[in-house]
A and B are shown apart, each in its own frame.
Chain A
Amino acid sequence: MIMGNSIHQERRDFLRKVSLSGGGLLLGFTLFEDLEAQTGKGHLIEGVQHDFNSYLSIAADGTVTIASPNPELGQNIKTSFAMIVADELDADWSRVKVVQAPLDNSKFDRQLTGGSGAVPHSWKRLRTAGASARLMLIMAAASKWRVSPEDCYAENGMVLHRGSGRKAGFGELVAEASKLPVPTEVKLKDHKDFKLIGKPIRNVENKNIVVGKSMFGLDFYRDGMVYAVVQRPPAFGSKIKSVDDKSARAVSGVSDVVRFGNNVAVVANSTWAAMKGRKALVVTYEPDKALESSSDHADIFTRLMDSPNARMHRKEGDVDAAFQSAAKVIKREYECPFVPHNPIEPMNFFADVRPDKVELIGPTQTPGSARKAVSDLLKIPESKITVDITRLGGGFGRRLKFDYVVEAAEISSIIKKPVKVIWSREDDMGGGSYRPAVRYRFEAALDASNQLVGYKLRGVGMNAGNPTREHNFPSGSIDNLLIESLDHTSPITTGAWRAPITNFLAYAEQAFLDEVAEAMGKDPVQMRLDLLQKARTKPAGPIRYDIDRMETVIKTVAEKSQWGKKPGVSQGLSVYFSHASYVAQVCDVVMNGGKPVISKITAVSDCGVVINSSGAQQQVKGGILDGMGHAMYGKLTFNAGEPEQKNFNVYRHIRMKGMPEVEAHFVDNGKDPTGLGEPALPPAGGAVANAIYKATGKRMYKQPFIEQEPLKESE
């Protein structure tokens, strides 16, 4: 262990490095008087290092406060992040407090929630932050006791000396420890020494949630604020022709009606008054672009499917030759509709725009992009805009868009008052950013010995970009392959939806492979294992997935689900690699009164190290029910540009009754953690479709399944 002045030099280097990298935070170790200080709003007591980046602070009473920079929307990041820091710190978990950090580029990088990326991105940073602080506390204790730091260790919020049995709580050591140089190198724990990581640790907010404490954006209130409800064009592709706001202004409580762009905001002293005012508005619209209906989309898909202008994403071998000489060709199309995100907390945001500063408070997955957009709109530098992140009542990708944040800022800048914009459910479901509608065509060529020698995929979508994942399995295992796409630019806005693209691509692909396996006369498990073996021994082009990991989840799910060994049960397999994780699922279907009933889904996930075994169960089970629910029921249709389903009474979600049992297993191979908020979702639809086929002989070529035979008549 290096001691002395040289370290002080290095500490300055450390700080400089941090500021140069724009926030590659390693460790902050400061004394905060209270939680408010964490957000820079409270009183900082002596000893605070203002230029320190900060995940972590320890108070003199031993309380450890861990700042969680990424927005929490139910992926349980607030608990997982703190567990990682606290484990390396050897903190007493019962004395750990976790606070949501506001947007702060000087302290944190990648302060967003999306792509299942928070834990993989922060894993080493968080561990280093905890371990560095632990080392500094040990050094402080060793110096106090005049013993060698090598003879001291930390445990449960204390530093202990092996020889003498002396011990001191972190709180007693923090004043000295915080003056020590920040270590440049720290040894992270062996995985076997983890005390929190891998354990079932309860959500740190449980106790606040069950008593209804204010924590969500919609709960935020400040004296003097007004409420705004916005009338937006009901149809995508239309614009305002006229506005008559006389009746709206007459509604008691309404203080303002303002038009901005194609929107009209009704501002009032309560949510209800604003909603009533909005209802009283008389706004007429005229077409601005094509007012598309769902029937138009079907025609567009058909046209694009045979267009010669596809974008090619991956090509291997000689596909034309493979198909020309094929003994058997299987060609199938799959279709998925638009679906809204429907987080249960509708969009909302608070904004207080003043000439010298802007305050933004609310639920967002992308606080940084939201601030940039507000800065661009108002021509106010980002340095004068603060963003506080509330808890999010779900996100599913919808809050990666920041239209509602910009809207709040714009209204506040016009009316010159602090305002909270509230979207109704109808606003939310009608407001766009949907999962794009997509149609896929898969083609497989089998040779005379039933080997899969050719494979084609064409994806056509509505503002879907490239709806293929051209380098995913089965690419690499088939010698002749062509993957391409076409996109239609629609006025209907689309966006990332939990497990973007793969949430419907995986269903289509896994349903198709099931059919190919059958044509090859192979068991679906064996068929996939054979393809992986082919990719391993004779790869066709680059392999961008880990063959061994994929093989392991398939073999394990076959074992855990008793694949093929359950009398009276029809099983369907699906496996998918997304967000760097591997998930295989087997769905069990039993027949009840002539109808297929989804009785169970068994999942095996490889996401590397599992951080919180309770939270991980939630992500997998919830992800599967979400994936299954949308495959079964999800559908948003359009008439002349206007969505036809705008509330939960006409849009079906999966509910408790009729949900299958879900068994979630994990392959803990000690690899660095990968994403888990999304990867369990994509395989669900395919597993369900394949099991329904096994039970009934009917293939599911379209979502929602509930509209297809044989499920249709049961409705």
Chain B
Amino acid sequence: MPVYTLNVNGKMHKVDVAADTPLLWVLRDNLRLVGTKFGCGVGSCGACTIHLNGNANRACLLPVSSVGASKVTTIEGLSEKGDHPLQLAWDEVDVPQCGYCQAGQIMTAAAFLKKNPNPTLEQVETAMNGNLCRCAAYHRIREAVLVASKKNK
């Protein structure tokens, strides 16, 4: 099997996996970065959202062979001490119920806020609509994104 060198959370990792392996499973099974979740495998739930060069991406649809030298950021690498404004806002607003989808929600929101630091409520809803939360904690997810956007100022 081919060997790939991946830049994940600022560190280089060598992995020996099949070319078609989705980045999701490389992160989870090979690198043991399990914050990135498996929900559907077809890009419909957003639980596996990571950043590829700062852009939100679905790790379940991304073959490892296509990652190349791109910088991969997972929830574990979003901040050093778990103090990204979104992570703080998530706790303050007390968002999580089961918690399984929340890493994906935060990663989607982080990429979005970088592009749009002062979003309206409607813009937040549009940006977050691809991330499923089966507990339906949507009111608080929306609130936390808005709270975080104010922290950034």
List the interface of chain A (C-beta within 8 A of B). 72-76, 200, 202-203, 205-207, 209-216, 218-219, 221, 227, 252-253, 270-273, 276, 342-346, 391-396, 422, 424-425, 614-615, 618, 621-622, 625-626, 629, 647-649, 653-657, 659, 661-662
Which residues from B are CB-within-8-Å of A659? 136, 138-139
Complex Cα spacing A149 to B17, Å:
67
Do A344 and B94 contact each other (CB < 8 Å), given the known contacts A212-B34, A212-B103? no
Complex Cα spacing A111 to B54, Å:
44
By beta carbon, the residue of chain A nearest B64 is A272
Check if B112 is an interface residue, CB within 8 A of chain A: no
B residues 4-41 in Cβ contact with A at 8 Å: 17-18, 20-22, 25, 28-30, 32-41
Q: B21 near A618 (CB under 8 angstroms)?
A: no
12 A-B pairs whose Cβ atoms sit less than 8 Å apart in the complex: A203-B99, A206-B91, A210-B82, A214-B34, A227-B29, A270-B25, A272-B17, A344-B134, A345-B39, A622-B97, A622-B135, A648-B132
Do A252 and B1 contact each other (CB < 8 Å), given the known contacts A270-B25, A647-B42? yes
Which residues from B are CB-within-8-Å of A211? 35, 75-76, 78, 82, 87
The total of chain B residues at the interface (CB under 8 A) is 63
Q: A209 near B102 (CB under 8 angstroms)?
A: yes
Which residues from B are CB-within-8-Å of A343? 98, 100, 134
Q: A205 near B142 (CB under 8 angstroms)?
A: no
Instruction: Out of A206, A214, A342, name the residue touching B134 (CB < 8 Å).
Output: A342
| New A-B contacts (8) at CB < 8 Å, excluding given A626-B135, A659-B139 | A72-B98, A205-B96, A209-B96, A253-B18, A393-B37, A425-B41, A626-B136, A657-B129
List the interface of chain B (C-beta within 8 A of A). 1, 17-18, 20-22, 25, 28-30, 32-45, 47, 74-76, 78, 82, 86-87, 90-92, 94-103, 106, 125-126, 128-142
By beta carbon, the residue of chain B nearest A393 is B100
Q: A647 near B40 (CB under 8 angstroms)?
A: yes
Complex Cα spacing A394 to B39, Å:
11
Q: A621 near B22 (CB under 8 angstroms)?
A: no
Shortest Cβ distance from residue B59 to the other chain A in the assembled complex, whole angstroms: 12
Which residues from A are CB-within-8-Å of B74? 212
Complex Cα spacing A618 to B96, Å:
9
Complex Cα spacing A209 to B47, Å:
13
Q: B38 near A346 (CB under 8 angstroms)?
A: yes
Which residues from B are CB-within-8-Å of A342? 134
Shortest Cβ distance from residue B78 to the other chain A in the assembled complex, whole angstroms: 8
Q: B125 near A656 (CB under 8 angstroms)?
A: yes
Q: A618 near B37 (CB under 8 angstroms)?
A: no
Which residues from B are CB-within-8-Å of A394? 98, 100, 134-135
Q: A655 near B99 (CB under 8 angstroms)?
A: no
Q: B100 near A345 (CB under 8 angstroms)?
A: yes
Q: A252 near B18 (CB under 8 angstroms)?
A: yes
Shortest Cβ distance from residue B10 to the other chain A in the assembled complex, whole angstroms: 16
Complex Cα spacing A477 to B31, Å:
63
Shortest Cβ distance from residue A685 to the other chain B in the assembled complex, whole angstroms: 14
Complex Cα spacing A661 to B138, Å:
10
Shortest Cβ distance from residue B49 to the other chain A in the assembled complex, whole angstroms: 11
Complex Cα spacing A209 to B74, Å:
13
Q: A216 near B135 (CB under 8 angstroms)?
A: no
Which residues from B are CB-within-8-Å of A271? 25, 28-29, 38
Shortest Cβ distance from residue A624 to the other chain B in the assembled complex, whole angstroms: 8
Q: B136 near A629 (CB under 8 angstroms)?
A: yes
Q: B44 near A203 (CB under 8 angstroms)?
A: no
By beta carbon, the residue of chain A nearest B91 is A206
Q: A272 near B140 (CB under 8 angstroms)?
A: no
Which residues from A are CB-within-8-Å of B130? 655
Complex Cα spacing A484 to B89, Å:
51
Q: A272 near B21 (CB under 8 angstroms)?
A: yes
Which residues from A are CB-within-8-Å of B137? 618, 621-622
Do A221 and B41 contact each other (CB < 8 Å), given the known contacts A74-B99, A205-B99, A659-B138? no
By beta carbon, the residue of chain B nearest A625 is B136
Q: A212 near B75 (CB under 8 angstroms)?
A: yes
Do A206 and B96 contact each other (CB < 8 Å), given the known contacts A344-B39, A621-B139? yes
Do A654 and B98 contact each other (CB < 8 Å), given the known contacts A212-B34, A253-B18, A272-B25? no
Instruction: Out of B28, B45, B100, B138, name the residue touching A656 (CB < 8 Å).
Output: B138
Shortest Cβ distance from residue B95 to the other chain A in the assembled complex, whole angstroms: 8
Complex Cα spacing A75 to B130, Å:
24
Complex Cα spacing A653 to B97, Å:
17
Q: B136 near A649 (CB under 8 angstroms)?
A: no
By beta carbon, the residue of chain A nearest B29 is A270
Do A656 and B98 contact each other (CB < 8 Å), given the known contacts A346-B38, A425-B42? no
User: What secondary structure prevails in chain A residues at the interface with B?
Assistant: loop
Q: A618 near B42 (CB under 8 angstroms)?
A: no
Do A425 and B40 contact each other (CB < 8 Å), given the known contacts A202-B91, A212-B74? yes
Shortest Cβ distance from residue A287 to the other chain B in the assembled complex, whole angstroms: 29
Q: A391 near B98 (CB under 8 angstroms)?
A: yes
Q: A218 near B38 (CB under 8 angstroms)?
A: yes
Q: A73 near B98 (CB under 8 angstroms)?
A: yes
Q: Which of B76, B100, B133 has the most CB of A within 10 A?
A: B100
Shortest Cβ distance from residue A626 to the other chain B in the assembled complex, whole angstroms: 5
Q: A203 near B96 (CB under 8 angstroms)?
A: yes
Complex Cα spacing A315 to B30, Å:
63
Complex Cα spacing A84 to B113, Å:
38
Shortest Cβ distance from residue B145 to the other chain A in the assembled complex, whole angstroms: 10
Q: Which of A207, A273, A615, A622 has the most CB of B within 10 A?
A: A622
Complex Cα spacing A622 to B95, Å:
11
Q: A647 near B41 (CB under 8 angstroms)?
A: yes
Q: A207 near B45 (CB under 8 angstroms)?
A: no
Do A272 and B22 contact each other (CB < 8 Å), given the known contacts A394-B135, A622-B97, A657-B125? yes
Complex Cα spacing A72 to B135, Å:
13
Shortest Cβ distance from residue A346 to the other chain B in the assembled complex, whole angstroms: 7
Complex Cα spacing A662 to B28, Å:
36
Top 5 nearest A-B pairs by Cβ distance?
A212-B35, A393-B100, A74-B98, A212-B75, A625-B136
Complex Cα spacing A72 to B97, Å:
9
Which residues from B are CB-within-8-Å of A396? 134
Do A425 and B97 contact each other (CB < 8 Å), given the known contacts A621-B139, A656-B138? no
Shortest Cβ distance from residue B13 to the other chain A in the assembled complex, whole angstroms: 15
Complex Cα spacing A214 to B33, Å:
8
Q: B35 near A649 (CB under 8 angstroms)?
A: no
Complex Cα spacing A622 to B134, Å:
9
Q: B97 near A648 (CB under 8 angstroms)?
A: no
Q: Which of A210, A615, A657 has the most CB of B within 10 A?
A: A210
By beta carbon, the residue of chain B nearest A429 is B40
Which residues from B are CB-within-8-Å of A345? 37-39, 98, 100
Q: B37 near A207 (CB under 8 angstroms)?
A: no
Complex Cα spacing A218 to B95, Å:
21
Which residues from B are CB-within-8-Å of A212? 33-36, 74-76, 103
Shortest Cβ distance from residue A279 to the other chain B in the assembled complex, whole angstroms: 11
Which residues from B are CB-within-8-Å of A272? 17-18, 20-22, 25, 29
Q: B41 near A203 (CB under 8 angstroms)?
A: no
Q: A649 near B40 (CB under 8 angstroms)?
A: yes
Q: Which of A75, A202, A392, A396 has the most CB of B within 10 A?
A: A202
Which residues from A are CB-within-8-Å of B102? 209-210
Complex Cα spacing A270 to B33, Å:
14
Instruction: Out of A210, A221, A392, A621, name the residue touching B90 (CB < 8 Å).
Output: A210
Shortest Cβ distance from residue B3 to the other chain A in the assembled complex, whole angstroms: 14
Which residues from A are CB-within-8-Å of B142? 656
By beta carbon, the residue of chain A nearest B95 is A206
Instruction: Out of B40, B96, B103, B129, name the residue touching A648 (CB < 8 Å).
Output: B40
Shortest Cβ distance from residue A403 to the other chain B in the assembled complex, whole angstroms: 19
Q: Which of A392, A618, A653 has the most CB of B within 10 A?
A: A618
Do A207 and B82 contact each other (CB < 8 Å), given the known contacts A200-B94, A648-B44? yes
Q: A273 near B18 (CB under 8 angstroms)?
A: yes
Shortest Cβ distance from residue A60 to the other chain B in the assembled complex, whole angstroms: 28
